[in-house]
Amino acid sequence: MVDLFDWDRFFTNIPQIVAYLPVTFKIVFYATLFGVILALLVAVIRIKKIPILHQVAGIYVSFMRGTPMLVQLLVVFYGIPIVMQQLFNINVNRWDKIIFVYITYILNQGAFLSEIFRCSILAIPTGQLEAAYSVGLTQFQAFRRIILPQAVRVAVPSFGSDFIGLFQNTSLAFLIGVVDIMGRAKTIGTATKHVLEAYVFIAIFFIIISLLVKGAFYLLDKKLAYGR
Amino acid sequence: MKNLKISKILTILMLSLVSIVLLTACGTNNETKTSDTNVKTIIVGTGNNYEPYCFLDKNGNLSGYEYEVLKAVNELLPQYKFEFQTYDFANVLISLDAGKIDIGAHQYESNEERQKKYLFGQESYTTYTTYVTVAAKNETIHSLSDLQGKKVKTSTGSNSTYLLEKFNETHKDNPIILAYADNSTDEETVVGINNGVWDAVIVTKRDADKFNKAYGNGKAVLKQVGEPVATSKTYFVFAKGNTELQTAIDGALKKLKESGKLAEISTKVIGGNYTESE
């Protein structure tokens, strides 16, 4: 057998894999941006217990949290076109595959983050809200000035670990043929017949990312720790 | 009262979010379809994990035999414009089911089960004769029936899996153990068979040669034993009823065979003429 690992191959692989970083980052970016918006909506719906929407949100969150991401990706990829065809008679089958990946990750993040946000908001004692009302703040002002700053502080650590998880989850996108860094590692393996070097690089990359994210959230956490 | 207002605002927000997502998505969709109306865009679904048939080259572009053949076919059919999408093997035919692609191209052999669901081309473009393939040092396995009770590496949706399942139906007392390893790499196959993770794999002679050349360091790491498990050919696969596309491509393939172009592509990309016989 030839050597399984070779440093030359390791270094020639790096630029080829790095070229696909934007794909991974884009998934993370869209999932976080729209995920946060969606999560805020869902969190508010569930805290306010808005009829119908509240139940729908509950089912949505438990589905997203209770099924593997892989299943969600396939449901979105094959299921959404069927639903769209039936309801609106639009053929979305030929959409770029990356759009289905974005939708999946946004929906998934929306659910996970909504629970983080919901808990963080509920963690603030109701007494504070009552106190805010008693000095004449409106509902929005009370939320904006009293609840939100404290809730953010509670949410940051969980948000950080969720964010690291999101980075790792992006590697599933390759299943439907979206080539991200994981997919590129695998396809390099196919083309060159040697895959271990590419995998090792991916592992190092994910470790670095998780350390960076962890560090950033640690700093953020420290910065937000006013009055402690 | 207040709650009612909030719920209204929320509903509007939700709807606008959904429409934003949909609109941006539609936008990208339209861009890809701005070709002139006489040329019909055909989406080809292929893999990206099977060298030298469909894989990504150094720059990340799709290349390989499937791609080269279909490119040559497209040159003969100016009424179509082929666009290539890559999937992992098991998802190509599912995407054909779902209408995401028009042609499936991934060294598809024809079998009864597949014939029921899909429309196969009439013109083959490669032969596909598969053998039981074991570690070079293996002395106990000489045929398919020696594999009973042994572990064979397969992948979901492949013809070899189908044939092994058929074999097992008639050998229920001591079936071949199917070990599914989807989208694994060649390296995993060779290492796994050599250190006993699996006992065998069912591949073509040219695939086994490729493994030996890549990992053998001059020696053979795998060997093929016994009679062929299947002597078949590979075809392009279409959705049921899409005879127009199928006839067009069959016609083009026929021309490519007659002109010797197909043999040329096979020799260039696979390293031998595998278009008619092994």
The string of pLDDT tens digits covering residues B245-270 is 999 999 999 999 999 999 999 999 99
Beta strands at B151-154 and B177-180: parallel, antiparallel or unpaired: parallel
**Domain chopping of chain B, boundaries:** 40-127+234-269, 128-231
Domains B40-127+234-269 and B128-231 equal at CATH topology level: yes
Q: Which of B13, B14, B48, B221 to mutate to test the interface with A (most CBs of A within 10 A)?
A: B48
CB contact A20 to B (< 8 Å): yes
The string of pLDDT tens digits covering residues B184-205 is 788 889 989 999 999 999 999 9
State the burial class of residue B258 (Cβ atoms within 10 Å of its Cβ: 0-12, 13-18, 19+): exposed
For every residue of A46-110, which 3-state class applies, written as one string?
A: HHHCCCCHHHHHHHHHHHHHHCCHHHHHHHHHHHHHHHHHHHHCCCCCCCCHHHHHHHHHHHHHH
User: B40-127+234-269 adopts what CATH topology?
Assistant: D-Maltodextrin-Binding Protein; domain 2 (3.40.190)
**Domain chopping of chain A, boundaries:** 7-227
The string of pLDDT tens digits covering residues B140-161 is 999 999 999 999 999 888 899 9
Distance from CA of A108 to the nearest CA of B (A): 15
Check if CATH label 1.10.10.10 holds for domain B128-231. Answer: no
Q: Which of residues 131-150 of A touch B (CB under 8 A)?
A: 139
A7-227 has which CATH code? 1.10.3720.10
The string of pLDDT tens digits covering residues A119-163 is 999 998 989 988 999 999 998 898 888 888 889 888 998 999 899
User: ipTM, 2 decimals?
Assistant: 0.78
Distance from CA of B47 to the nearest CA of A (A): 8
